[in-house]
Structure 1
């Protein structure tokens, strides 16, 4: 059963990572074309800093996903259930939380356009509206965190002491 959940959650992490990449791309396009105070938004240090944080978060999710994917490709189904259920649970928890933060940052960059369901901000609006729902599918964040910790504790030697 855990193997099936692993693959389901892995697929959700793929979707989450891709959504974050799309949000970053939309924001990069937007800040080069939108002008504020006579300059493109890209000239504003605050906007660039927000985008830098978004990119770092997105790359972190992508890297972790690639690491887990490599392990999945090189482990048997049984090994995956025994060794990857916790890390995949942590990845899913982290990537969906990251996607929510990235969507919120994208709303800040897009401003009023990010609350319309049509036009240039439609993708940002949709991502911001649906990202919290993605965090519930395949197990809520707190349930996944507990699963990850329990699996990590199972791997601890019984005589481990400080």
Structure 2
């Protein structure tokens, strides 16, 4: 329904060719294995390497670190096609590098890039971002994890929670407070912490959904990390975190409307095959209206997200407008996903309540995207402040 088979304003022939390769990869390597991966509670490491070989990990990154040097619409292609499998846990774990690695590539030293960014983009290592803490989620400025300078090392103490890929990650991009005398946004830095650092412990967390994604609670108990592992300038981490969040929120919007479309397609196919009262239920007016309402919300969320990305790439909007519209896109897309998952389960009836349908899985996964990357309430407050409301 929403496929773009020809080059247009947003997608070139290169984008479309990349999409075709990824679609085949997802159909062959991912979709048939989702149930096994959900039972295992994680993705196999071999999948990261296969994805790295295709350029999945490097869509947005420059060639000097092993990326393909693509624009944001290459990232759109990756997020949309991975989401076609209908399992948010796969998209989350396979994409954990997309929030863990950008600060490193943009601000890290050449040595750090070669040591960590290159193998992550190649699929040889797994990267994760560690910002959220037990005492505060969306309020990054309130973080309490401390990194105290001790000669040529920082000693890190604190906790992080809800960390995607936290059990498997080989390296963490960790938000810490390097200046305890500063409050709020001041004194926050990003620092790379290798997964085998003494004093780092991980505990798996059980979840409602995203079962193929491992999620962990991390404890840093006097972890010693070289000073050279600081990403960018000390104390400048808050700004980098906020810019990272913008891209994360756009990614969540893409995943959300793509998952909504999975629900739409499954509900449409079911309604066309399911007969009641003398014909397919897709011919019942109430079902037709549900499907049209689903299609409209998906299209609205997708169109808004495409427009934001296109205008960003062409430097058409001031930063406050970009941040506000990105927040709006996340809310719009996750609400579309919520609506479509609910309607799809209703259309499928009893089958919608059964494990094995994509709509049932997505129905359980709706809430995490309305929370992760900033709750709906925080997004609306952020948009209001950026627009001067």
TM over 0.5: yes
Distance 2:368 2:354 in 1: 19
- 4+ residue runs of structure 1 moved beyond 6 angstroms? none
Q: Give the match's secondary structure for 2:371.
A: coil
CA separation in 2, counterparts of 1:138 and 1:80? Answer: 22
1:140 Cα shift? 0.5
Q: Deviations over 1:35-86 (max 9, x none)?
A: 112310111000001111111111101110111110222239xx76443111
C-alpha contact 1:3 1:85 (8 A) present in aligned 2 = no
**Counterpart for residue 112 of structure 1:** 350
Quick check: 1:68 aligned with 2:308? yes
Q: Secondary structure at the match of 2:377?
A: helix
> Match for residue 87 of structure 1?
325
The whole-number CA distance in structure 2 between the counterparts of 1:41 and 1:80 is: 48
The structure with higher relative contact order (CA 8 Å, sep 6+) is: 1
Conserved 8 A contact 1:3-1:81: no
The structure carrying a bigger strand percent of its residues is 2
Output the TM-score relative to the length of structure 2.
Answer: 0.37
Q: Is the 8 A contact 2:345 2:352 kept in 1?
A: yes
TM-score (norm 1): 0.86
**Are 1:3 and 2:243 counterparts?**
yes
CA offsets 1:12-49 (integer angstroms, 9 cap, x no match): 11101111111111111111101112310111000001
> 1:96 — aligned with what?
334
2:381 to 143, 146, 154: 146
Distance in 2 of aligned mates of 1:99 and 1:55: 11
8 Å contact kept, 2:262–2:359: no
Q: Secondary structure at the match of 1:138?
A: coil
Which consecutive residues of structure 1, in runs of 5 or more, have no partner in the other structure? 155-162
Pairs aligned (count): 149
Distance (whole Å) between structure 1 residues aligned to residue 243 and residue 388 of structure 2? 19
CA contact (8 A) 1:8 1:138 kept: yes
Instruction: Looking at secondary structure, tell me which structure has more helix per residue.
Output: 1
Please list, as runs of the form range in 1=range in 2, the aligned pairs for 1:32-47 lying within 5 A after superposition: 32-47=272-287
Distance 2:259 2:333 in 1: 10
CA distance in structure 2 between the partners assigned to 1:83 and 1:48 by the alignment: 37
